[in-house]
């Protein structure tokens, strides 16, 4: 069973996952240009959904040892689907030029998070503890990358 190996996430960086909760969490206020205002208004709901999903993922990881591989596969499949929905919304946004680099970093890292979640699903379905451990470690790293870039965006937006 892989559930004990998925629990490696807290030891690898539960703080990173908690930071991810803040990752895409706050946008608000006003902006000088229409493009920035439009971007900001689109980014906020997506960021809030990423935050909510991250919170539930963290909770699920803490409970992983009490679940079967089949249960983990089902739950993480749901997370991957929800994450992909928000990633698709994120990818429709057009950042102002001053935020494009940070936005591309967030979008790339968020895409990898979706792949990491899918990797956990595949590992659970095949009872592959090593693959689960790798996907969980990648999940933390990708969330950290997204968080760092998102913080730059929210700071630039004044949020």
34 lies in some domain: no
Q: How far apart are CA 121 and CA 93, in angstroms?
A: 28
- What is the value of pTM for the model shown? 0.78
Query: How far from 56 is each of 42, 63, 66, CA to CA, in Å?
Result: 22, 11, 16
Q: How far apart are CA 71 and CA 121, in angstroms?
A: 10
94 lies in some domain: yes
**87 touches 123 (CB < 8 A):** no
74 lies in some domain: yes
Q: Pick the closest to residue 147 from 8, 15, 9 (CA basis).
A: 15
Q: How far apart are CA 123 and CA 96, in angstroms?
A: 39
147 lies in some domain: yes
122 lies in some domain: yes
115 lies in some domain: yes
Burial class (CB in 10 A: 0-12, 13-18, 19+), 95: buried
The enclosing H or E element of 127 equals none
Q: pLDDT tens, 120-159?
A: 999 999 999 899 989 988 998 898 898 888 888 988 887 7
33 lies in some domain: no
| Over residues 70-86, mean pLDDT | 96
Q: How far apart are CA 46 and CA 40, in angstroms?
A: 10
86 lies in some domain: yes
**What is the domain range of residue 75?**
3-25+39-156
Domains identified in the chain, total number: 1
Q: pLDDT tens, 9-35?
A: 444 444 444 444 444 444 444 445 789
């Amino acid at each position: 069973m892989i559930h004990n190996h998925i629990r490696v996430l807290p030891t690898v960086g539960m703080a990173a996952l908690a930071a991810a909760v803040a990752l895409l969490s706050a946008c608000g206020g006003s902006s000088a240009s229409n493009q920035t205002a439009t971007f900001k208004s689109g980014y906020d709901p997506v960021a809030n959904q990423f935050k909510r999903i991250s919170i539930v993922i963290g909770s699920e990881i803490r409970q992983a040892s009490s679940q079967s591989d089949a249960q983990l596969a089902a739950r993480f499949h749901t997370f991957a689907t929800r994450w992909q929905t928000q990633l698709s919304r994120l990818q429709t946004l057009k950042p102002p030029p001053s935020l494009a680099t940070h936005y591309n970093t967030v979008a790339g890292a968020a895409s990898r998070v979706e792949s990491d979640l899918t990797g956990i699903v595949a590992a659970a379905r095949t009872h592959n503890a090593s693959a689960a451990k790798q996907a969980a470690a990648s999940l933390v790293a990708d969330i950290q990358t997204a968080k760092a870039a998102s913080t730059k965006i929210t700071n630039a937006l004044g949020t």
